[in-house]
Amino acid sequence: MDEVSLKEIGLTEGEVKVYLALLKLGSTKTGPLATKAKVSSSKVYKILGRLETKGLVTHVMQGKITFFRALEPKRLLDYIDEEEEALKQKRKSVAELIPSLEKQMRSVVGPQATIYTGFKAVTNFFRNILDDLKTGEEYFVLGAKYIEDMPEQSRFFYKYHQLRGLKKIKVNMLMNNDMKQLLVPTTKICAEIRYLPNYLISNMQIVFYKRKAMMIVWVPEPIGFLIESEEVVKSFKTYFDAFWKIAEK
């Protein structure tokens, strides 16, 4: 568990092994450290150098021999704070760059179709909704579905709907009737939700707004098919309005 947590904050596998070994050995030379950490002697100096740069390890000279030791574990919090600050600066730089990049991006003319594969790609579509819509605007969801053995889906939508609520973007949602117990509570923020009868339940979810319509199949490796067409969106809106009338509140 220690190794997993340390990797999650950005340490490499070698850094984790050396750091944990140093905690157990105390002040030590590189020979015993390499043995304890199970890394080669040729790599241990490079790893120690990186750990010192990250403020997690220090060294002292005793005669002509260098001894290394891990600093207090609380220094990990300092390291995380520094990484977060660096990320903020990177984000600021990228944010300043985006207008220039958007000018270089080729404009989409006429209907377009794009396939999205994987959880990250599909959920990026929802992030784009928050970018594309303004406060007070709305979008529509037909056949919302949650996968019980996909906890990352619930975690994503919990935070997503929080952000949507802060921006006051309304969602009109027709959920599958069997999903009531799986609905994350933040979904109800700035939302109107109705439930489809059992005979209309589908594994496909359709999300649409303006000129974009995304058809999503929620499976362990989600797949989305995005169509950019005002006519297609109008067609889905016609179906949505018909189902809305027969759906349960």
Last residue of a domain, one of 70, 93, 121: 70
In a domain, 131, yes or no: yes
Taking the alpha carbons at both ends of the chain, their separation in whole angstroms is 45
Contact present, 132 and 102 (Cβ < 8 Å):
no
Taking the alpha carbons of 74, 79, 84, 89 in that order, is the dihedral positive or negative?
positive
131 and 202 co-located in one domain: yes
40 and 126 co-located in one domain: no
50 and 143 co-located in one domain: no
Domain that holds residue 203: 112-246
230 and 165 co-located in one domain: yes
In a domain, 41, yes or no: yes
Last residue of a domain, one of 17, 43, 70: 70
Tell me which residue of 50, 47, 49 sits closest to 34, measured CA to CA. Answer: 47
Q: How far apart, in whole angstroms, are the C-alpha atoms of residue 35 and residue 103?
A: 55
In a domain, 93, yes or no: no
pLDDT, residue 192, reads 95
pLDDT, residue 109, reads 57
- Report mean pLDDT in 10-residue bins for the chain, 249 residues: 82 93 92 92 91 91 89 90 87 84 65 86 94 95 80 90 96 86 88 86 87 92 92 94 90
